[in-house]
Amino acid sequence: MNVLLIGNGGREHALAWKIAQSPLLEKFFAIPGNPGIKNFAECVGNISISDNAALVNFAKEKNIDLVVVGPEAPLVNGLVDALNAAGIKAFGPKKVAAQIEGSKIFAKCLMKKYGIPTADFGIFYNPEDARNFIRQKGAPIVIKADGLAAGKGVIVAQNLDEALNAVNEMRNFGDAGNKILVEEFMNGEEASVLALTDGEKILPLIAAQDHKRVDDGDKGLNTGGMGAYAPAPIVDEKIAAQVTEKILKPTIAALKAEGITYRGCLYAGLMIQNGEAKVVEFNCRFGDPEIQVVLSLMESDLLDLMNACAEGDLSDKKISWSKESAVCVIMASGGYPKAYKKNLPIDGVIKAESLGAKIFHAGTKIKDGELVTSGGRVLGVTVKAPTLREAVDKVYKCVEVIHFDNAHYRKDIAARAL
Ligand code: AMP
Ligand code: GLY
């Protein structure tokens, strides 16, 4: 099978690493890829991932059998529709289905209509109405911009002032900020359950826990994710069954009832309290860094599974998992998720790998022959070991041998599960 992978983050490096293990793989390309992906795929840098026509042409020219779309933006931008229209198979939902992430309001209304457990909410098209609602409800309360905002369009306000100010801040999210979602605050512990689906059948992946806040103890701003581990013990057998039966299956069925066939990965971000899981958000693609730990534990052929999703027939597929645990610590640029410096030389990656870590590149590039930083999240240092304790101890030994100026990472990844 000739495969084209779209994207350049830690998620895509993890996908490339796993796809490359498949006996089904023949030629492998990535657009644009990154220095880590280069070890597995030919990286093509001169085509934009928002240029659907150019991507379709490339896929035709290279006889691509399956395009794997990593990030949400091209999914929301209809890349899978364009590929399918040209007769090319793709892993990932079509535009109308990707709305589940592309519009939080679409997702909330779908959940409400079909009784899928989530926080109560109000939708507002002008700031004054939002503020009135907030005054009625009180704090803590959550204010969200509607569209894609790279995990940053959400403010969890602890008091009324903060909540009222948050409404003004929504203006910083462009079009996404013209529609404001105000949500009841949910207490509890978060977990991510990602599932493969062909539009009918659901195959949940092993549950993971992300660490969204930038600083230890879940303090500071929200980020794309500062580290993850799997399996997440908070998702025990009972919760896992509840998530499948009350959330994942009903969501796929609800979309179906709305005339939308959802194929690809459905990511359910969950809040779990008192044995009950509610949806915080849906994403239309694999979670990052969650997928870095999930794939570290997957023993099945991911390419075969993704191809079955794209073909609309997962019916005879199962997934087998390692009994071990995996942990990923994100090394980020100092300042992230706000402004940060780029082009800082990175040392110690090979040494960390020799100590047993898998290093997934997220924001790196090669400059004058040297590996340098090029993004907020720079590296995902990932370790698999027989126990979570061993994985955590080892991952931090590996992190400590990697250096770049102002590197920032959380020291408490997986601490809650230990
Ligand atoms: P989202 O982008 O919707 O996943 O929100 C980002 C983060 O904000 C989540 O991972 C939660 O930590 C937090 N969050 C969002 N909505 C709520 C809510 N209703 N109650 C409590 N925390 C929330
Ligand atoms: N790690 C959170 C996300 O991928 O959205």
Residue 186 beta carbon below 6 angstroms from any ligand 1 atom:
yes
Residue 7 beta carbon below 6 angstroms from any ligand 1 atom = no
Q: Is residue 281 in contact with ligand 2, taking CB distance under 6 Å?
A: no
Q: What is the mean pLDDT of residues 219-244?
A: 96
Burial group, residue 79, by CB count within 10 angstroms (0-12, 13-18, 19+): buried
What's the whole-number mean pLDDT along residues 198-209? 98
> Which ligand places an atom closest to the C-alpha of 190?
1
CA 8 remoteness from chain centre: 13
Mutate-to-test residue for ligand 2 from 144, 154, 267, highest number of ligand atoms within 8 A of CB: 267
Q: Which atom of ligand 2 is nearest to the CA of 290?
A: 1
Amino acid at 209: Q
Tell me how crowded residue 158 is: count the other CB atoms within 10 A of its CB.
11
CB contact set of 78 (below 8 Å; sequence gap of 6+): 52, 94, 95
User: Of 274, 99, 96, 277, whose CA–CA distance to 204 is shortest?
Assistant: 277
Residue 139: which residues within 8 A CB-CB, separation 6 or more?
A: 157, 158, 159, 160, 162, 163, 185
Question: Residue 176: is its pLDDT beyond 70?
Answer: no
Which pLDDT score, from 0 to 100, does residue 250 have? 98
* Ligand lying closest to the C-alpha of residue 11: 2
Please identify, by atom number, the ligand 2 atom nearest to the C-alpha of residue 288: 4
Strand order in the sheet with 3-7: 42-43, 28-32, 3-7, 66-69, 89-91
Mean residue pLDDT of the chain comes to 96
CB of residue 300 inside a 6 A radius of ligand 1:
no
End-to-end Cα spacing for the chain: 42
Q: What is the pTM of this model?
A: 0.96
Shortest-distance ligand to the CA of residue 290: 2
**356 compared with 172, residue with greater pLDDT:** 356
Q: Cis omega (within 30 of 0) on the bond before 32? A: yes
CA dihedral 101, 210, 17, 268 (to 10 degrees): -30
- pLDDT, one tens digit per residue, over 303-353 is 999 999 999 999 999 999 999 999 999 999 999 999 999 999 999 999 999
Residue 345 Cα to ligand 1 middle (Å): 34
183 lines ligand 1 (CB under 6 A): yes
225 lines ligand 2 (CB under 6 A): yes
Q: Which residue in this structure is represented by tokens 């933006």?
A: 73
Q: What is the CA radius of gyration of the chain?
A: 20
Q: HSE on the CB side for 248, CA within 13 Å? A: 30
| Beta pairing, strands 42-43 & 28-32 | parallel
Distance separating alpha carbons of residues 407 and 11, to the nearest angstrom: 20
Give pLDDT tens digits for 97-130.
999 999 999 999 999 999 999 999 999 998 999 9
- Among protein residues, the one whose CA lies closest to atom 8 of ligand 1: 154
22 Cα: distance to centroid of ligand 2 (angstroms): 25
pLDDT at 151 over 60: no
Q: Distance, CA 369 to ligand 1 centroid (Å)?
A: 40
pLDDT for position 150 = 59
CA 163–ligand 1 middle distance (angstroms):
14
Share of the chain above pLDDT 70, in %: 98
The residue behind tokens 């700031």 is 127
- Ligand 1 mean position to 280 CA, how many Å? 6
Cis-peptide, bond into residue 140, ω within 30° of zero: yes
Residue at 298: amino acid letter: M
Residue 376, token pair as written in the block: 């907020």
Element containing residue 325 per DSSP (H, E): strand 325-332
pLDDT class of 152 with cuts at 50, 70, 90: low
DSSP reduced 3-state for 161: helix
The protein residue with its alpha carbon nearest to ligand 2, atom 5, reads 287
Q: Which pLDDT does position 222 carry in this prediction?
A: 86
Residues facing 372 on adjacent strands: 345, 365
Q: Which atom of ligand 2 is nearest to the CA of 210?
A: 1
